[in-house]
Structure 1
Amino acid sequence: MNAPDAWSPVDPLGEALHSLRMSGAFYCRSEFTAPWGLALPAMPHSLMLHVVTAGECWLQIEGHEPLLLQPFDLLMVPHGLGHTLVSRPGTLATPLFDLPRDYSAERYEVIRQGGGGAATGLVCSAVRFDHPAAHRLISLLPALIHIRNAQSQPNGVHTEWIRSTLQFVAAEARDLRPGGETVITRLADVLVIQVIRTWIERDPAAQSGWLGALQDRQIGRAIAQIHREPARAWTLASMAQVAAMSRSAFAARFNELVGEPAMHYLARWRMQVALTWLREGDRAIADMAEQLGYQSEAAFSRAFKRVMGIAPSAARHGSEAAPK
């Protein structure tokens, strides 16, 4: 396959964001009255999102000071760390799955708790991501992302967008119109992407490493092409051609930005794609080998174990892969 025109339009970062296709663990609307407390367990490989639609509450999470959340605050816990939400610091928190709930839909719940005092409304969700680019992106996020009172932030396109979406979520949670749970779950998913976009634009940490490489005009182009065509018989020279750079300049620039050689990145990317396929279903390992550019199942299996630390069969049956 020929390399694309070196200056054809491409948006590697946009493609990574597009990979944030979510599968929901749960969504819920909570109606609390003080005193109340909710303990959310750790949910590995999940991202949790909380939107305060009315009243206020406190977040408590190990390693951080208690954080006050007020109306139209939005809090993201990207790595599924266990935490509590309480009416006041020190309030006893009931484990999430010990609370009675009403099921409006298969993955949408309504939780009510409290002693009759001041009211707090929350919309919460926990979502998972299947695409390897999504896993890589989520792994780079901080432990907490807090957007404080989006209604009072300075005007701007992105802040205004989040503000309007939060208002819509709050209205749906308040009015309980037919189909409200569907609207809320869809908007929660969109909010996740918008918050990550905002973090990428504002946090200096997002301008270096893998994310910085995606935003580099030439290296980002090569990474995007690797993601699209993992089975291609890539060489350092062919990657450099996609980036419209010399072989030596490309190798040095890729290593500088990404933190590993380009051919190592290619091998890890192929194995991350394979890991996703293994967890998704019963695709034959021989088919995976062919689709990822390996000449035999044995060659693929050796590469998988070298990169991921376990055999493909073990990964399929739920053992944790640990990339080397």
Structure 2
Amino acid sequence: MNPNPPWDTADPLGEALHFLRMSGTFYCRSEVTAPWGVDLPPMPDCLMFHVVTAGRCWLQVPGEPMRQLQPGDLVLVPHGHGHRLLSEPGAPAVGLFDLPREIASERYEVLRHGGGGDAVQMICGAVRFEHPAARHLVQMLPAVIAVDASRPPQAEWMYSTLRFMATEAQQMRPGGEAVMTRLADILVIQAIRAWLEQGSATHTGWLRALQDRQLGRVIVRIHRDPAHPWTLASLAAEAAMSRSAFAARFTQLVGEPAMQYVTRWRMHLAESWLKESATGVAETGARLGYQSEAAFSRAFKRYTGRPPGAVRRQPAVA
């Protein structure tokens, strides 16, 4: 049976979205009353999201214009930058981890804070993406993505998902954390899809290459079969182009030579497998097409600056 999604040959960008599977760092239901402010610290390698379910507030991300959020709005801060949520511009903010919080489960909290004025309810989260394709896609995103739930076509799916999420956050029945995680998956993926559909961000770089009929097919083949003994000639043949034309076009759109991309993709996969599974060094190298553990170890150290055994010995991040 083919493990790959059936649409990805025709839609390489769809394949990239297929890998957007998140692991939650934490989720929080916030019930705050004016005046209030929460200072969220930087969370490297995390995407943070906020959904306003009742009331209005302001989002302040350094280097970005302040924006007001209202019920139904969803905002992503994809690169883990520190930012603030405020009852109004200029309101004093308290550090997130300095506020009293009710621990509902290992990764779910309830935060109540403020001066007793106008109330705001939000659902917030910080998530990680484990697959290298997902991380690569997230790197391409802007500093902030905001989705207005009142605008079609997102109005229907946003409202239905938000209602479900708000109800689940209030009740937290058995299995509630798992449900919240799946709903957050849907919200984040839909927000990224809405951004991609705007089109302006996909005219250059890796995203543009994925949408290119010839290069997109090649990138999918590299992702699916990293162990294949790829050469510039075989990649050009996949694209039905001459080697020189393919090499120039790939470098122009992706920003690096094709064979360098192949190596980087293999090393990203190797690092993920070594960190997150019980796969040994020799097995990892074999899965990526290396003929010996020594050959793989040399390539890995040359690319990352560390031997693969050192990466494998690192404790897993919760």
Q: TM-score scaled to structure 1, two decimals?
A: 0.87
Distance 2:26 2:146 in 1: 21
Alignment of 1:208-247 (within 5 A): 208-247=204-243
Asked if 1:164 corresponds to 2:160, the answer is: yes
Match of 1:187 among 178, 183, 190: 183
Shift of the alpha carbon at 1:172?
4.1
Residue 266 of structure 2 is matched in structure 1 by 270
- Confirm or deny: 8 A CA contact 1:84 1:93 kept in the other structure: yes
Shift of the alpha carbon at 1:200?
1.2
Residue 112 of structure 2 is matched in structure 1 by 112
Distance 2:88 2:201 in 1: 32
- Confirm or deny: 8 A CA contact 1:104 1:181 kept in the other structure: no
Letter in 2 for 1:109: E
Shift of the alpha carbon at 1:318?
4.8
Residue 305 of structure 2 is matched in structure 1 by 309
Alignment length (residue pairs) = 307
Residue 99 of structure 1 is matched in structure 2 by 99
Shift of the alpha carbon at 1:33?
1.1
User: C-alpha deviations, 1:121-172, integer Å up to 9, x for none?
Assistant: 0000110011111111111111111123x12x2x33x454334323433444
Q: Give the unaligned 5+ runs of structure 2.
A: 1-7
- Confirm or deny: 8 A CA contact 1:58 1:89 kept in the other structure: yes
Q: TM-score scaled to structure 2, two decimals?
A: 0.89
Distance 1:173 1:73 in 2: 17
Asked if 1:293 corresponds to 2:271, the answer is: no
Shift of the alpha carbon at 1:173?
4.2
User: C-alpha deviations, 1:258-311, integer Å up to 9, x for none?
Assistant: 122211110111011111112214421111111111122222122122222333
Alignment of 1:1-324 (within 5 A): 9-148=9-148, 150-151=149-150, 153=151, 155-156=152-153, 158-173=154-169, 176=171, 178=173, 181-318=177-314
**TM-aligned CA distance change 1:105 to 1:230, over 3 Å:** same
SS at match of 2:221: helix
Letter in 2 for 1:268: R
What is the percentage of aligned positions where both structures have the same residue?
61
Q: Give the unaligned 5+ runs of structure 1.
A: 1-7, 320-324
**TM-aligned CA distance change 1:307 to 1:181, over 3 Å:** closer
Shift of the alpha carbon at 1:252?
2.6
- Confirm or deny: 8 A CA contact 1:16 1:134 kept in the other structure: yes
Taking only aligned residues, the RMSD between alpha carbons, in angstroms, comes to 2.1
- Confirm or deny: 8 A CA contact 2:9 2:217 kept in the other structure: no
Shift of the alpha carbon at 1:253?
2.3
SS at match of 1:141: coil
